[in-house]
């Protein structure tokens, strides 16, 4: 069975899940504003394997969120994942943090996952209902008219913790809605995305892979 360990540390949510093919087996996570990833991540990895009576050697791949997000969180997640991949001789899979957020919802229209990037900025991108990228991920300053142009012809759902900022700033529009149940990326929504990459052999180079920060100066 192709067990994959999924690690998501791009936000305040330290999240680890175990999947068998594309199906979620288990998930352990804790959301803390104190960014406790360095203390919790390795404990969560051991906990989820012990709880499901699996050995490290039974893992076939390790998947991580590649960013954007917290500089510190992404570095901690990548360090743990690379250590496992080197030690177990298994491949590394990376998935966009924004795509992980978008994968948590089903919506007939355009999905805009957002992550708070400080001040009036968010990291965002635009997906269609099948998670095809329509607008590439980028940091952008939110103003009164953000997303209104694409809302003229499309229903839009804004998710992620950046939506809090968007609600306050963007002018109301009947085609723009929000889902405040989906605020931070969780590894439980990485399973099918990771397995698709596993099947096609879409792996990262362990020696050279770096997170995609989008903004280098963000430390949390």
Q: In this prediction, what percent of the chain has a pLDDT beyond 90?
A: 90
Least Cα distance to 166 among 146, 184, 185, 149 occurs for 146
pLDDT at 216: 55
Query: What are the backbone angles phi and psi of residue 211, rounded to the nearest 5°?
Result: -60, 160
- Give per-residue pLDDT as tens, 67-95: 999 999 999 999 999 999 999 999 999 99
Query: What are the backbone angles phi and psi of residue 35, rounded to the nearest 5°?
Result: 50, 70
Please compute the mean of the pLDDT values over residues 56-77 and round it to a whole number: 96
Note whether 18 and 52 are within 8 A (CB): yes
Burial 56-73 (b: 16+ CB within 10 A, else e): eeebebbbbbbbbbbbeb
Count of H-run helices and E-run strands, the chain? 6, 10
Q: Which CATH number is 3-97+185-200 given? A: 3.30.420.40
d(CA 64, CA 16): 9
pLDDT at 33: 79
d(CA 30, CA 15): 7
Going from N- to C-terminal start, the domains of the chain cover 3-97+185-200, 105-178
pLDDT at 219: 42
Given a cut of 70, whether residue 217 has pLDDT beyond it is: no
Given a cut of 90, whether residue 202 has pLDDT beyond it is: yes
CATH pick for 105-178 out of 3.30.420, 1.20.1640, 3.30.70, 1.10.3470 = 3.30.420
Least Cα distance to 184 among 10, 5, 7 occurs for 10
d(CA 84, CA 92): 9
- Give per-residue pLDDT as tens, 95-140: 999 999 999 999 999 999 999 998 899 999 999 999 999 999 999 9
Beta bridge partners of 30: 14
Identical fold between 3-97+185-200 and 105-178 = yes
Q: Greater confidence, 39 or 220?
A: 39
How high does pLDDT run on average in the chain?
A: 94
Given a cut of 80, whether residue 3 has pLDDT beyond it is: yes
pTM, full prediction: 0.94
| Confidence label for 214 from pLDDT (cuts 50, 70 and 90) | confident
| Confidence label for 218 from pLDDT (cuts 50, 70 and 90) | very low
The tokens 């919802």 sit on which residue? 105
pLDDT at 24: 98
């Amino acid at each position: 069975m192709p067990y994959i360990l999924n690690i998501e540390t791009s936000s305040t949510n330290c999240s680890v899940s175990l999947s068998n093919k594309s199906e979620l087996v288990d998930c352990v996570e804790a959301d803390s504003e104190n960014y406790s990833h360095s203390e919790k991540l390795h404990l969560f990895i051991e906990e989820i394997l012990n709880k499901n009576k699996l050995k490290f050697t039974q893992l076939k791949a390790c998947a991580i969120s590649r960013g954007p997000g917290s500089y510190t969180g992404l570095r901690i997640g990548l360090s743990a994942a690379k250590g496992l991949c080197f030690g177990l001789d298994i491949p590394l899979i990376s998935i966009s943090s924004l795509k992980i957020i978008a994968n948590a919802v089903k919506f007939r229209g355009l999905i805009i996952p957002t992550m708070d990037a400080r001040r009036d900025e968010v990291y965002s991108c635009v997906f269609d209902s099948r998670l095809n990228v329509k607008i590439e991920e980028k940091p952008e300053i939110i103003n009164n008219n953000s997303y209104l142009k694409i809302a003229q012809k499309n229903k839009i759902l804004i998710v992620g913790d950046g939506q809090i900022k968007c609600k306050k700033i963007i002018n109301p529009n009947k085609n723009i809605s929000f889902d405040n149940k989906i605020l931070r990326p969780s590894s439980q929504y990485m399973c099918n995305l990771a397995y698709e990459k596993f099947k096609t052999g879409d792996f990262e180079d362990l020696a050279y892979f770096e997170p995609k920060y989008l903004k280098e100066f963000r430390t949390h």
